[in-house]
Amino acid sequence: MPTPGKPFSVVAPFEPAGDQPEAIEGLVRDIRAGAPATCLLGATGTGKTFTMAHVIAKIGKPTLIISHNKTLAAQLYEELRGFMPENSVNYFVSYYDY
């Protein structure tokens, strides 16, 4: 959880570009409107994690991101931790085999 009074923030040497600004605003709009679900779709290397970091910062609420495999979960954790170094980014992997 963020420190009270300290907002979520993104630290990066670049700004959202291409389709990212529109995607960020669309996702934020949907979430604030109470949409039961929303989706961010993009090919490998298009900046989905960077876009998610900006959405989280704009919404300003703790966020749970779930991944379908441990490799991707670790990658998301490392990237988000890099983009949000002033915020708490945590990683949990369940070792149960269902």
The verdict on residue 46 lying in a domain is yes
Instruction: Tell me the pLDDT tens digit for each residue of 78-97.
Output: 999 999 999 999 999 888 77
pTM over 0.85: yes
The verdict on residue 12 lying in a domain is no
The verdict on residue 74 lying in a domain is yes
Distance CA 96, CA 43 (A): 30
Instruction: Tell me the pLDDT tens digit for each residue of 42-66.
Output: 999 999 999 999 999 999 999 999 9
The verdict on residue 66 lying in a domain is yes
CATH number for the domain spanning 66: value is 3.40.50.300
Strand boundaries in 38-88, DSSP class E: none
Q: Which domain holds residue 72?
A: 20-83
> Which of 55, 41, 60, 46 is CA-nearest to residue 17?
46
Q: Structurally, how many domains does the chain consist of?
A: 1
The verdict on residue 94 lying in a domain is no
Cα torsion angle, 19, 48, 50, 34, sign: positive
